[in-house]
Structure 1
Amino acid sequence: MWNPDNFMETLYERSASARKKQTELGREERKSLLKEHLRTALVPFEEMRAPLDPILLERTEYDDYVRERVEIGTVTGLRMPVYVLIPKESRRTWELPGNSSGKLPGMLALHGHGYGSREVAGFAPDGTMSVKKGGHNRFALELARQGHIVAAPEMIGFGDRRLLRDTVPGKERSSCNSLTGQLLMHGMSLAGLRVYEAIRTLDYLAMREEADPRAIGCMGFSGGALLAAYAAAIDERINAAVLCGFTSTYKGSILSINHCIDNYIPGVLDYAELPDWIGLIAPRPLFVESGENDPIFPAGAVREAVGILRKIYRDEGAEHRLQSDIFPGAHEVSGRNIYPWLRSTWQSLE
């Protein structure tokens, strides 16, 4: 047979041997090595770091929250719009322990494939308010209604941040493939750039006077959960992470199904499988959510990944900080246990 299936399996097994050598290191030494490898992917963008220089583009008041759209700088030549959702007093029904200043827990809301940050903030593609929840289930808006100040950036390649050729009527699409190919020609990855921009959004959120720095979290869906996982792994300002429709193994999902090219990061398999990368978040709180009938991240692989994560958290003495929910559904955000878990996480602050 001339099909390359066996060859690709051989490559995976060869990488497995390299990964096995990593496990022989001490836990802290291995964590340090893995984090350093992730940071390496961000180095080209850190060298191009631009001032945030935030500009308020619009501000709209609703009954229970205020919505701002702010533009910030990320790297030289790139500006990024961010929706900021701020709950009004009527929605601030609980307080953080030891917080007498009225500061709020903050959340990064990272969207996946679709039409961008509008989708998580409650908009239809044309910018009008939407009554349809969609796969993202308007989770940024729900986080605000649960009492968080939320920053939802428009990730490069989607919505208003596509290449011009991908915005031509009748030929509209995301720019993931084109951006990935061009960045690879420069020794960079689209995933690395998006993670870096997520961290720059965190820089902005941390500047907001409404946000309590002890209670900054991130929540992502699908490709947005990839960004949330890697950003939380290397940036310890993120005190809790929620990953929806993503946690799996490379073997069980990314390598076995036709995914978007933006999921693939050069060299990661020589160091660790996906649950080990996500496990870098430990011992900080982590919530994993996935649909039982998700065809993209199959439930069997999700359960395998959660099992590996439980061992990592157990070794860190923090098994109680890992929670998971495989709900009856497909590739979508449920949220049924996420919001109570976040509230309990923030209320347990010391």
Structure 2
Amino acid sequence: MSSAARPGRRAFVTGAAAAALAAGAGSSRAAEPVGGNLPHFHPALKDDLRFPLAWGTSPERDFAAWRRAARAQVEELLFTDRQDDTPYAPEFTAGVRSGGCTRQSVTLSLTRYERVRGSLLTPHGRGPFPAVLLLHDHGSKFDIGKEKLVRPWHDDTRLASARAWADRYFDGRFVGDELARRGYVVLCLDALGWGDRGPLAYEQQQALASNLYHLGSSPAGLMAREDQRAAAFLAGLDRVDGRRVAAVGFSMGGYRAWQVAALSDDIAAAASVCWMTGLKEMMVPGNNTLRGQSAFHMLHPGLSRHLDIPDVASIAAPRPMLFFHGGQDTLFTADGVRVAHEKLRAVWRSRGAEERLRLKTWPEYGHVFNSAMQDEVYAWLDAVV
């Protein structure tokens, strides 16, 4: 028997290989070409995903009970300790007054495994202040993390890189600095692989993920747990009004923003820019997710057997949530965004809280968080936090 005829040899089909298989004589089922790294039977796998734990599909009709069950399912699949009570033991640098706020570095233990350094901005004036947990993107750029959103003031070696990133995605603004000027305490920390915890090389991401899986953890689970702990740390600072803490992020940071809102009661509201979609509609030929690599930072193995992506975000209902999408954003299909927005709207409507959900597509923009989008987010935050 030739290797091409052995069972299982058609598990992945792309390009010329797919065409050859489709034309092969004696084949009981012609394989059709697919783009990316999908198995030829991927439609059947999609059909198997029914998201039985989703609100409205789950037999549970008490929303509070549903939230507890759905959150518990997500927590189980984070592959990290659910109750990590490691003392934060924060170490603060001396404050530097600049740009309408006091800038500090803070080093703390988000888990028992590692100390993490972040940027902490405090507005001038008398607190306690509202606060924002600011979550950086992926961008396949690892030399900077927190510096993508907060202008570095203590490390000139990263300033040029940070400015170039702000010019590319944020109309030259540093989002954290803008928020601090508006009266918010801002905390922004490096995720594993970025800034002080990197730099990770693009092609190393899959190896990092597989090694963490072997060790009983995952990149996405570790990130989720750290963001959860960061939210609790921020809400507990004396300078912060713990009832008025929001999460804000762009791209992967947008994913992190709605995720931490779903997993943490310390988050009162969340704004997610350029990261929301239905899972099935995202897993289509040509989508960036099919390349792996960056996908591992937003992948909880097994979760799709229970909940769709917007179902997880819905755990945060009925708190105020904002989701912006760029109509020219090639990372998310129009169908995926539509499906996600419909699911989100249905959940908030079921709670009598549709006015707390802000869904908007900006048809003229791509994968950016430009000044026009920022200004709307800031105004929204001022109204809900």
Q: TM-score, normalised by structure 2?
A: 0.78
Counterpart in the other structure of 1:94: none
Of 241, 253, 274, the match for 1:212: 241
| Alignment-derived partner of residue 95 in structure 2 | 59
Match for 1:233: what amino acid?
A
Could you tell me how far apart the structure 2 residues matched to 1:228 and 1:287 are?
10
1:317 aligns with 2:342: no
Q: Which deviates the most, 270-279 or 127-136?
A: 127-136
Between the aligned partners of 2:85 and 2:195, the Cα distance in structure 1 is: 23
- 1:5 and 1:181, CA in 2 relative to 1: closer, same or farther beyond 3 A? closer
When structure 1 is superposed on structure 2, of 20-29 and 223-232 the one drifting more is 20-29
Aligned-pair distance for 1:158? 1.3
Distance in 2, Cα, partners of 1:198 & 1:230: 9
Q: Which residue of 1 is the match for residue 276 of structure 2? A: 247
Report the counterpart of residue 127 of structure 1 in structure 2. 158
- C-alpha separation in 1, matches of 2:256 and 2:247: 9
Q: What per-residue deviation string (whole Å, max 9, x for no partner) do you get for residues 248-305 of structure 1?
A: 1112225652322222211111111111111111000001112111111234422331
Corresponding residue of 1:281: 316
Alignment of 1:1-350 (within 5 A): 1-2=30-31, 5-16=39-50, 18=52, 22-28=57-63, 29-42=65-78, 44-46=80-82, 49-57=85-93, 59-89=95-125, 102-113=127-138, 114=141, 115-123=144-152, 126-128=157-159, 131-132=163-164, 133=166, 134-135=168-169, 138-162=174-198, 166=200, 172-173=201-202, 176-253=205-282, 257-259=287-289, 260=294, 261-327=296-362, 328-333=364-369, 334-346=373-385
Unaligned runs of 5+ in 1: 90-100, 167-171
One-letter code aligned to 1:84: L
- Closer, same or farther in 2 for the Cα pair 1:27/1:266, shift >3 Å? farther
Q: 1:173 Cα shift?
A: 4.1
CA distance in 1, matches of 2:208, 2:365: 32
Offset of residue 49 of structure 1:
4.7
| Uncovered stretches (5+) of structure 2, i.e. residues with no partner | 1-29
- DSSP 3-state at the match of 2:311: helix
SS in 2 for 1:16: coil
**Is the 1:53–1:73 contact (alpha carbons within 8 Å) kept by the matching residues of 2?**
yes
Distance 1:255 1:159 in 2: 32
Deviation by residue 1:232-252 (Cα, 9 ceiling, x = unmatched): 112112100111110111122
- Aligned-CA RMSD value: 2.5
Q: Secondary structure at the match of 1:337?
A: helix
After TM superposition, the structure 1 stretch with the greater mean CA deviation from structure 2, 14-23 or 113-122, is 14-23
What is the CA–CA distance in structure 2 between the aligned matches of 1:232 and 1:13, rounded to whole Å? 29
Contact 2:134 2:176 in 1 (8 A): yes
Q: Which secondary structure state, in structure 1, belongs to the residue aligned with residue 149 of structure 2?
A: helix
Q: CA deviation at 1:122?
A: 2.6
Q: What is the distance in 2 between the residues matched to 1:60 and 1:175?
A: 36
Amino acid at match of 1:248: T
Give the structure with higher Rg (CA). Answer: 2
**How far 1:22 sits from its partner (Å)?**
4.6
Cα deviation per residue 1:291-339 (whole Å; 9 max; x = unaligned)? 1111112344223311211110000111010012222211111313111
The answer to whether the 8 A contact 1:71-1:82 is kept is yes
Tell whether the 8 Å contact from 1:293 to 1:299 is kept in structure 2 after alignment. Answer: no
Q: Once structures 1 and 2 are overlaid, which stretch shifts more, 27-36 or 317-326?
A: 27-36
For residues 60 and 178 of structure 1, do their structure 2 counterparts lie closer, same or farther at Cα, with a shift above 3 Å needed? farther
Select between 294-303 and 321-330 the one with higher mean Cα deviation.
294-303
Whole-angstrom distance in 1 between the partners of 2:232 and 2:327: 35
* CA 1:299–1:143: 2 relative to 1, 3 Å: farther
C-alpha distance in 2 between matches for 1:50 and 1:9: 44
Shift of 1:206: 2.0
Once residues 269 and 125 of structure 1 are traced to their aligned partners in structure 2, the CA distance between those partners, rounded to angstroms, is 43
Paired AA for residue 250 in structure 1:
L
Instruction: Report how far residue 174 of structure 1 moved.
Output: 7.8
The answer on whether the counterparts of 2:146 and 2:189 sit within 8 Å (CA) in structure 1 is yes
Hey, what's the Cα distance between the residues in 1 that align with 2:101 and 2:209?
Answer: 36
Deviation digits for residues 130-168 of structure 1 (CA, Å, limit 9, x no counterpart): 5542325532222212210010011112122127xx4xx
Structure-2 change in CA distance of 1:117 and 1:291 (3 Å): same
Task: With the length of structure 1 as denominator, give the TM-score of the two structures.
Answer: 0.85
* Conservation of the 8 A alpha-carbon contact between 2:232 and 2:266: no
> How far off is 1:50 after superposition?
2.6
**In structure 2, do the counterparts of structure 1 residues 85 and 174 end up closer, same or farther at CA, with 3 Å as the change threshold?**
farther
Q: Structure 2 CA distance, aligned partners of 1:82 and 1:179?
A: 22
Contact 1:83–1:152, Cα closer than 8 Å, also in 2: yes
